[in-house]
Structure 1
Amino acid sequence: MLFLILAILIPESPRWLTQKARFTEAREVLAKIGSSSYTSKVLTELKANLSVRHGSGFGDLLSLKPVLIIGIVLAAFQQWCGINVVFNYAQEIFTSAGFDIDDTLKSIVATGSVNLIFTLLALPLVDRLGRRKLMLFGSIGLTIIYALIALAYQTGTLGLPVLLLVLCAIAIYAMTLAPVTWVLLAELFPNRVRGVAMAIGTFTLWFASFVLTYTFPLINHTFEAQGSFLIYGIICLLGFIFIWRKVPETKQLSLEEIELKLNITAPVEPKSLQQSANEKQG
């Protein structure tokens, strides 16, 4: 109910409003974000970007395969990095680390608290440090911690050391991969296909979550705890390499500037926004 009530206060997207030739409303929304010069600059960019006639839907999206692949890989990686295993199978993980039921419940409370605290800490860091840096830090940080957790299980150094390492992993994830993936998915795709592309990215993320949740018991049974965390560590290392080579920095760039940076603007036959609106009304 609270979400429903607050959703009423969410302004309409200025890009959607511009696409529908509702320029006055778009200007009002932009004015809530920045100065008058910012509003004029962004509105001019929106008109220039959206006044070009593009294809739409899946056909146009397939022409942007490199960007689509980045979005799909990031969405899957956010889940396959393995952190949600800790939340979904906390009892099994902490029991295998030598905790009794009472200690396990306290550990579960600790993991949730750390997740909340470090998610809040991530809010100012996204724009201050940049998306790419946070994603790189998160992936390599989890790689190292998973290797240490696997080593702890292998050597029998369980109990508190494992709990502290798990909490560190959750803290890093909450500051980096968890929120920043959603930011990047919303920024990478050009205006004309953003709706369809975000739908594909979101589907990929939750399908990956299903696969992760379903396969962990099988992996844990086959490779035991140390092998499971080692596998997730390897996935995080591969994610680090992918982000390093393929993911651009989008900090302090408008969506239109990101399009130009990624060279994914595909102009075809010019067509005015007003003309498009008139045709739709007709």
Structure 2
Amino acid sequence: MEKLELTNIRFTWLKGGVTHLDGGAMFGVVPKPLWSRKYDVNDKNQIELRTDPILIQANGKNYLVESGIGNGKLTDKQKRNFGVDEESEIEQSLEAMGLSPLDIDYVLMTHMHYDHANGLTKEQNGEFVSVFPNATIVSSEVEWDELRNPNIRSKATYWKENWEPIQEQVVTFKEEWNHGPFKMVHTGGHSDGHSIIIIEDEGETVVHMADLMATHAHQNVLWVMAYDDYPMDSIAGKQKWMKFAQERNAWFTFYHDAVYRAIKLDEYGAITTAIKREK
């Protein structure tokens, strides 16, 4: 498991599963000859996208960013459609660190699409229960509201079994949630309630852009997904927060990237420092 260590904070990437989605959908209007130079694509026009939560240990607490694709939540048809050939191994990853899901204190959800939220619940004795029963689950208020009342477009990705069992654990915020070194900021864009996460530690900064910059190949502010509900908000969010990060020589961390776990960029967008995913 790959790690990033700051002065007082440790990041560890867990095994949350993998999807393979259409490259055209993931890069929107960007022509394939351009995006395919930046990110590998298979003969089905799919790109590999991890769904690997980040365990962040700070101030004696265990924080989880996102929850993985889950295990046993997808039908065979869904696995084919979403290109899932590996499901979550979160419990095994935690066990390797001497932890269990009961040890997670906070789960920070940038948004609640199925590929981020499936790992929040599991089926047990014929009903869905919380995977992290001792955790406070944090989401923007807008995201939480739409999750429970999806529209005609979003109902395909907001699933009742992902929110009903954990609703008593959820804490929401309007614009920002501040907790120790963590700040969650509502950005909109990819979804109306999408948020990013900023972590500060003694002059070091980490910015988790979530699905505003799903992979290192999405660093161009105009390269946004066809999946984005509000693409102009995605562009505005990337302009603001990538500038913020680069001015601080911050790390960008990834949930979906199949190549890098974290990178730093120079003023021209070149990768100066990186933590690669071990395959």
Q: TM-score range by the shorter chain?
A: under 0.3
Q: Which one has a larger percent strand, Structure 1 or Structure 2?
A: 2
Higher relative contact order (CA 8 A, sep 6+): 1
Q: Which one has a larger percent helix, Structure 1 or Structure 2?
A: 1
Q: Calculate the TM-score normalised by the size of structure 2.
A: 0.23
Q: Greater Rg, structure 1 or structure 2?
A: 1
